[in-house]
A and B are shown apart, each in its own frame.
Chain A
Amino acid sequence: MKRMFPLLVIAALLGFVRPAFAEMVVIVNKDNPLATISKAEIEMIYLGKKKQFQNGSPAIPVDLPAESHLRREFFTNVLDKSEESYRLYWVRMIFSGKGQPPLTLSAENEAVKFVSQNKAGIAFVDSDGILPGVKVVTISGMK
């Protein structure tokens, strides 16, 4: 265990510095013909206003746990909402019978796996966590 301690420290440090190098990206299934998606469309999908991509195929958004550093970045830069206002928005949607919030998966790799296995999936992840079954889409309309 003593021998492993320095390795654990290094791993922790690497984990700590990782966000500085990684980039938040939006992914879809590799079979989804989508190459570009607008910021407004992502917002509408995550707010439950749209259940389809622009091309008419179904869209199933995936969320990450509240403690995810990516989540705050995604909400601020793409959804233009704080996590709190997003949560309260969904409280209103639920109690007006307009649906349920996106599925929340426990970790980024779970989100990548979900999207790789579901043609309708869409998620936000770190660019260094991409797997063969998914592809990154360009977001248009970003400030």
Chain B
Amino acid sequence: MALALAMLLPLGGAGSAYAVDFSKITLNGFIDLEYTQSSNNADNPNGAFHQHHLSFLLDVPVDERISGHFHIEFDHGVNTAVSNGGDIIVEKSFIQYFHNDLLQFRFGKALTPFGYFNEVHDATPVFLSFGIPRTIYRQHERGGTSMFPKWTTGVNVLGVREYGNTIVEYIFYVGNGENLPTVNDAEHDSNRNKAFGGRIAIQPVEKTSLAASFYSGEKAESASRLATSHTTWGLMFATGAGDLGALFEYASSDVGGTVDTGAYGQLSYTVNKQVTPYYRYEQTDPDTSSAGDGWTEQIVGVNYMPLDNLIFKAEVADHTRGAGNRDIGVDPNTLEANPKNYTDFRFAVTLFF
């Protein structure tokens, strides 16, 4: 016991010596409550409240060049006393080293920098709609395969440079590949080679930007297929004029020869700085070699921000699916028929700081 205390004392001293001035640490976070109801008997016909996210983000500047960035999320109103009782997730946890504007590094776990939305995957205060597009970003929920891993653990290199009034940003990364769902990507790599990817974004004029993303790695699909090749590329175009905004993305993913594609377009118009109606059209083709397996989702919604840190969202989503989509049929969990077409009604309130 005495030995243990003797070991702890120096650690306590060291902790004080290396502590960062608390006034420099920034704490942000958000919480949201949702209510969803579906006309699809296999999903959520009764409607349900959903305490979806409780998130805390810390920015810790250690000195002019080094900082730490952490995001911990309590997902689905965590209750460890029940099975399927939500998750506690490290959304990101990385150390950033700033050499100069053109050359910076991140070491750790980060949301994979792919496309417009993945780095704000669950950050509901950031996007207008209830959730980010299922197509491209959650392709596995559209009858396809995930186009890239949500997170990558490894090293990122990033930077920015302006050429006149044109701004060019890049980020490249190398990290663990995609493991089986039972194996933690942040700890282990079942694949022989490391995954790598990147994104280059150009802003030629104010309010208009173009970006190209790519991902390449190996995906463990089963115990006998631990290294299926996986390559994805995507294009993004965002523009706006006054209160009008438009966003378009397309991505294509090849997993061992099976090609998925996804695309969406979103239009929005902000009225009186607080109310933003939006429309989004999403189209997914889970396997381009197979006909009649597509999934289309059309979303009409409104985002209302009465206070600087409070958002209400309401939207209706209409789904149309091809008969060949793998999600069609009898749901194995509920044994309810899972029809081709259905409608979701979604409401949410989000508080952030």
Residues of A within 8 A of B (CB): 38-41, 44, 49-52, 56, 58, 80-82, 84, 87, 91-92, 94-97, 99-100, 141
Contact = CB atoms under 8 A, between A and B. Distances in A.
A84 B240 CA distance: 14
Given A87-B308, A92-B126, A95-B125, A49 B169 contact: yes
A44 B160 CA distance: 9
Contact of A94 (B28, B111, B164): B28
20 contacts: A39-B165, A44-B162, A49-B101, A50-B160, A50-B162, A51-B98, A52-B100, A80-B206, A87-B308, A91-B126, A92-B126, A94-B57, A95-B57, A95-B123, A95-B352, A96-B126, A97-B57, A97-B71, A97-B111, A99-B59
Contacts of A56: 100
B167 interface: yes
B162 A100 contact: no
Task: Give the interface size bracket for B toward A.
Answer: 20 to 34
B308 A100 contact: no
Interface in B14-47: 26, 28, 30
Contacts of A40: 162, 164-167
Nearest to B26: A100
Given A87-B308, A96-B120, 9 more contacts: A39-B165, A82-B273, A84-B273, A95-B28, A95-B123, A95-B125, A95-B352, A97-B111, A141-B165
Contacts of A94: 28, 57, 59
B119 interface: yes
Contacts of A52: 100-101
A58 B120 CA distance: 28
A80 B242 CA distance: 11
Contacts of A97: 57, 59, 69, 71, 92, 94, 110-111, 119
Contacts of B98: 51
A76 to B, nearest CB: 12
Given A40-B164, A96-B119, A50 B101 contact: yes
Nearest to A82: B273
A100 B169 CA distance: 18
Nearest to A92: B126
Contacts of B187: none
Contacts of A51: 98, 101
B248 to A, nearest CB: 18
Contacts of A141: 164-165
Contact of B59 (A41, A84, A100): A100
Interface string B101-120: 10000000011000000011
A96 B167 contact: no
A80 B208 CA distance: 12
B104 to A, nearest CB: 9
Nearest to B119: A96
B120 A92 contact: yes
Interface in B40-58: 57
A91 B352 contact: yes
A38 B162 CA distance: 10
B64 A58 contact: yes
Contacts of A38: 162, 164-165
Given A40-B167, A51-B101, A96 B162 contact: no
Nearest to B91: A97
B162 A95 contact: no
A49 B59 CA distance: 16
A96 B115 CA distance: 13
B100 A41 contact: no
A85 to B, nearest CB: 9
Nearest to B311: A91
B194 to A, nearest CB: 22
